[in-house]
Amino acid sequence: MSTENGPRAADRGVALTFDDGPSSYTNQVLDILKRERIRATFFVVGENIDERRADLRREIGEGNLVGNHTFTHIDTAGGGSEVAKQLTETSALIKRETDFTPCLFRPPGGTKTPQSTALINRRGLKSIGWDVDTQDYTQPGSDSIVQTVLRDARPGSIVLMHDGGGPREQTVAALPRTSHCRAAPEGVPLRHPRQAARRWRTLCVDLRLRLRDKA
């Protein structure tokens, strides 16, 4: 199973998520999140990590959560040994650079099948979808991105954005204005990446239990 949104209680915030980084835009996104005192979840592509190690460490170090998005943005629908290898390799890279083992996974394109679900479960990962798609990857304009979030987000919504995978100037321009939605600040931002990693390791255990109870 995949989680497309959190609890809908009126006091719940909105979760901002970013896919396909880290990239040259990631630091700009992090600068805005830090200024607005918002934390987000970054679903990272493993092959991007080597040249953007500092960005990955900054994501964790500033209190954000990092999830697995495969190594090459592969289609995970069929499951199989190559998908398993990519999940393992990407998680290992994240662990090596941040001392944090991810507990969340987002399938590229949001594809879910019984085969992929079984594989993800065996890896101890929880699949996270979304219920608000900004379609920022189509470059619809920053105004359109903002309007989609403000129109469609509800308490507990998970918003899909991208900090990598192509030109993301529009996403960066839109992000400050999306803060009118109550983005959910999970956890406490800690300065040292390894301190933050320990904080998120505890959160992952708690999150797995909450999502299991909800399923």
Active-site choice (99, 162, 163, 180): 162
143 is an active site residue? no
Active-site choice (19, 20, 55, 163): 19
19 is an active site residue? yes
At residue 192, the pLDDT reads 37
Could you state, in order of their start, the residue ranges of all structural domains in the chain? 2-214
State how far the Cα of 130 lies from the Cα of 194, in Å rounded to an integer: 28
Domain boundaries 2-214, CATH class: alpha beta
Place of tokens 């899909």: 160
| Exposure of 9 in the CB half-sphere (CA atoms within 13 A) | 4
The answer to whether 85 and 116 have CB atoms below 8 angstroms apart is no
The answer to whether 138 and 100 have CB atoms below 8 angstroms apart is no
pLDDT in tens, the chain (215 residues): 568 887 777 667 788 999 999 999 999 999 999 998 888 999 999 999 999 999 999 999 998 999 999 999 999 999 999 999 999 999 999 999 999 999 999 999 999 999 999 999 998 898 999 999 999 999 999 999 999 998 898 888 899 999 999 999 999 999 998 876 655 544 323 233 445 445 555 555 554 455 445 44
Whole-prediction pTM = 0.87
At residue 189, the pLDDT reads 30
